[in-house]
C-alpha cells in the first residue's frame, strides 16, 4: 500500500514520519513542498503518476493565522487551490484523499455558559458535547475561510475523501504553543495568557496515529464512511489552562497570569469556542482517544 504525504517537513508531516516505522506494510512517500507543490496541478499529476498512491494525506497548508490577513492570495493558493489540485489528481488516480482542516472554520463564543455561533446571528450550539461535523461553518478570518474553501473544493470534486478537522496542534516538531511556552519560560519570570478562548489541544503524533488507523480500517472503503470528521484529544481547556499544565508537568515555576482576549489583540480573530465532538470518528473507526493532559505528558516525556 502506497501512502503519499504532502507537507512532509511540517509539524504533522514530521509526526507521521516519526511513527512510520511502526507500519511496515505501508510504503510511505514523504514529499516536501519543494518536491510536491500542491499549488501546481501539473506537479501534482507528475508525482501521482510516479508513485501511484492508494492514499494521499494532505498535511501541506498555509497555517500562519495572523499573517494570512495580509497575505490572503498566498493563503488561498495553498489552502484552497492546493486542496482542489489534490482532489482533481486523486480522482484521476482513484486515490483516497485525507485532508487536514481546522477548528478555524468556526467562529463561536460563550455567553453565560452557552456557546453561540457568530456574534450577529447567535445560533445556539450543543456546547455540552462540542461542535459536530454537521454544524454550519462560519469562519471569521482569512485562514479559516481558505481552509473552508479547500474543504468545499474537495467535496465538489472527489467523493473518496476524508476531511479531518482538528484544533490546537502541538508536538515536539516545528513551531507551536507548547514549545513557545517552554521557550518563553526560559526567558521570562512572568507570562500572560488568554483565558477566554476554549478548545482542546491536539498532539500531532496522536493525529498521525488516527490517520493511519483510518487508512487501515475495514470501514475505510465503504462509500458511507467518506466525509468530514473531527479529531482532537479529549477534554477542553483555555490557552491559560494549557500553559499552566505545560509548566506544571515540566516542573517550571513561573508567574502565570490569565488575561481576556481583548488584552491581547491579534490581526486575526480566534474562535472563542472550538471544542470538537469526536463521536462520529469513534463510532465509525472504533478509535479510543487520550485526554489532552495524558497526551501532553507523553509529548513532554
The per-residue b/e assignment along 51-71, b for 16 or more CB within 10 angstroms, e otherwise, is bebbbbbbbbbbbebeebbee
Q: How far apart are the first and last CA of the chain?
A: 32
23 is catalytic: no
b/e sequence 281-296, b meaning 16+ C-beta within 10 Å: bbebbebebbebbebb
3-state SS assignment for residue 226: coil
Angle at 282 between CA 80 and CA 105, to 5 degrees: 25
Active-site option among 51, 143, 240, 273: 143
Q: Could you tell me how far CA 244 lies from the centroid of its own chain?
A: 22
Please report the sign of the dihedral spanned by the C-alpha atoms of residue 142, residue 144, residue 148, residue 151.
Answer: positive
Quote the cell numbers at residue 47: 508525482
301 burial level (CB within 10 Å; 0-12, 13-18, 19+):
exposed
What is the set of active-site residues? Answer: 143
Amino acid at each position: 500500500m502506497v501512502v503519499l504525504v504532502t507537507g512532509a517537513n511540517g509539524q504533522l508531516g514530521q509526526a507521521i514520519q516519526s511513527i512510520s516505522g511502526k507500519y511496515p506494510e505501508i510504503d510511505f512517500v514523504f514529499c516536501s513542498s519543494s518536491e510536491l507543490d500542491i499549488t501546481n496541478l501539473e506537479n501534482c499529476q507528475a508525482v501521482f503518476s510516479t508513485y501511484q498512491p492508494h492514499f494521499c494525506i494532505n498535511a501541506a497548508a498555509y497555517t500562519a493565522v495572523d499573517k494570512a490577513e495580509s497575505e490572503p492570495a498566498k493563503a488561498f493558493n495553498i489552502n484552497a487551490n492546493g486542496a482542489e489540485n489534490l482532489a482533481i489528481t486523486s480522482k484521476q488516480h482513484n486515490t483516497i484523499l485525507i485532508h487536514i482542516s481546522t477548528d478555524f472554520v468556526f467562529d463561536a463564543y460563550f455567553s453565560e455558559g452557552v456557546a453561540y455561533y457568530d456574534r450577529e446571528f447567535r445560533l445556539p450550539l450543543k456546547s455540552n458535547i462540542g461542535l459536530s461535523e454537521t454544524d454550519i461553518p462560519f469562519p471569521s478570518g482569512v485562514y479559516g475561510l481558505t481552509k473552508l474553501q479547500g474543504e468545499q473544493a474537495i467535496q465538489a470534486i472527489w467523493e473518496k475523501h476524508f476531511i479531518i478537522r482538528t484544533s490546537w496542534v502541538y508536538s515536539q516538531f516545528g513551531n507551536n504553543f507548547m514549545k513557545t511556552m517552554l521557550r518563553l519560560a526560559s526567558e521570562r519570570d512572568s507570562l500572560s495568557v488568554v483565558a477566554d478562548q476554549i478548545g482542546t489541544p491536539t498532539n500531532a503524533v496522536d493525529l498521525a496515529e488516527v490517520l493511519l488507523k483510518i487508512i487501515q480500517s475495514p470501514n475505510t472503503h465503504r462509500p458511507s464512511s467518506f466525509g468530514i470528521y473531527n479529531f482532537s484529544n479529549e477534554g477542553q481547556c483555555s490557552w491559560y489552562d494549557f500553559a499552566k499544565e505545560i509548566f506544571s508537568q515540566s516542573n517550571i515555576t513561573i508567574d502565570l497570569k490569565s488575561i481576556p482576549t481583548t488584552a491581547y489583540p491579534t490581526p486575526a480573530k480566534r474562535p472563542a469556542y472550538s471544542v470538537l465532538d469526536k463521536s462520529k470518528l469513534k463510532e465509525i473507526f472504533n478509535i479510543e482517544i487520550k485526554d489532552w493532559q495524558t497526551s501532553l505528558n507523553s509529548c513532554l516525556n
